[in-house]
């Protein structure tokens, strides 16, 4: 399963910090950003993706994060 999130992460350094944070919480997931996309896409691939937890973790670090429909 793949879930796509819209964020306001612009800085590659911040993207790496968010990836590290999410990887600590969800070590089996594949996580990456597409900062070139206008929606600053966060992609999370895994068997079961806890959308609310991911949004909460990213938001708690000062960034907007919502599921892209």
What is the DSSP annotation of 12-61?
A: HHHHHHHHHHHHHH-TTSEEEEETTSTT-EEEEESSS--HHHHHHHHHHT
**Structural domain of 31:** 2-52
Residue 31 forms part of a structural domain: yes
**Are 66 and 55 contacting, i.e. CB atoms less than 8 angstroms apart?**
yes
Which pLDDT score is estimated for 19? 98
Is residue 66 scored above 90 in pLDDT?
yes
Residue 68 forms part of a structural domain: no
- For 7, other C-beta atoms within 10 Å of its C-beta total 24
For residue range 18-36, list pLDDT tens digits in order.
Answer: 999 999 999 999 999 999 9
For the chain, the domain total comes to 1
Is residue 69 scored above 90 in pLDDT?
no
């Amino acid at each position: 399963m793949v879930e796509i999130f819209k964020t306001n992460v612009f800085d590659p350094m911040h993207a790496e910090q968010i990836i590290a944070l999410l990887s600590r919480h969800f070590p089996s997931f594949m996580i990456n950003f597409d900062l070139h996309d206008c929606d600053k896409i966060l992609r999370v691939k895994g068997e079961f993706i806890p959308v609310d937890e991911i949004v909460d973790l990213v938001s708690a670090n000062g960034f907007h994060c919502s599921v892209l429909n």
